[in-house]
Amino acid sequence: MKITKWFYFILLFTSLIWMQSVFPGDISSAESGFLVRIAIDVLNLFNITIESDVLHHIIRKIAHFMEFFILGLLWLAFVLSQEKLENKYLFLMSIAVVLTAATDEIIQLFSIDRGPSITDFFIDITGGLIVLVVYMLFKLLYNRNVEKI
């Protein structure tokens, strides 16, 4: 396995994810609160009303999913950048996503006013692994179409 630029992007992005987990609860909530205020303003343009704490919860869960979706894309780019695509690389990608999510939640054990969440752990894993599932489905469909020709 050769180290490509994608591996460095993975390290950088993983560091950013883990840095977010180190922040105390009040800072983390303030970041989400900023997005909630923007979302409320946008929703008000369409006369849509959602309670701010419900919207806050939704935005935080979407953020978990999106962080790991992006991480999954970076891992897939790394795997595809290898000279020879092997299934073991896809398996290692899956393990890396799960370990990153687990570490993310463990870090929150030591953060002020934060704690681990099994729900967030599964949302993280889903975000990262859905990239792999979609890739494998496209690959399967592509191979079926090529065989028919």
Q: What is the per-residue pLDDT across 82-91, written as a single tens digit (0 to 9) for each?
A: 988 778 889 9
Give me the residues of the chain with pLDDT under 50, please: none
Q: What is the per-residue pLDDT across 12-25, written as a single tens digit (0 to 9) for each?
A: 999 999 999 999 99
Domain ranges of the chain: 5-148
What is the C-alpha separation between 124 and 100, in angstroms, rounded? 9
pTM: 0.90
User: Per residue in 95-105, is it b (16+ CB within 10 Å) or e — as a string?
Assistant: ebbeebbeebb
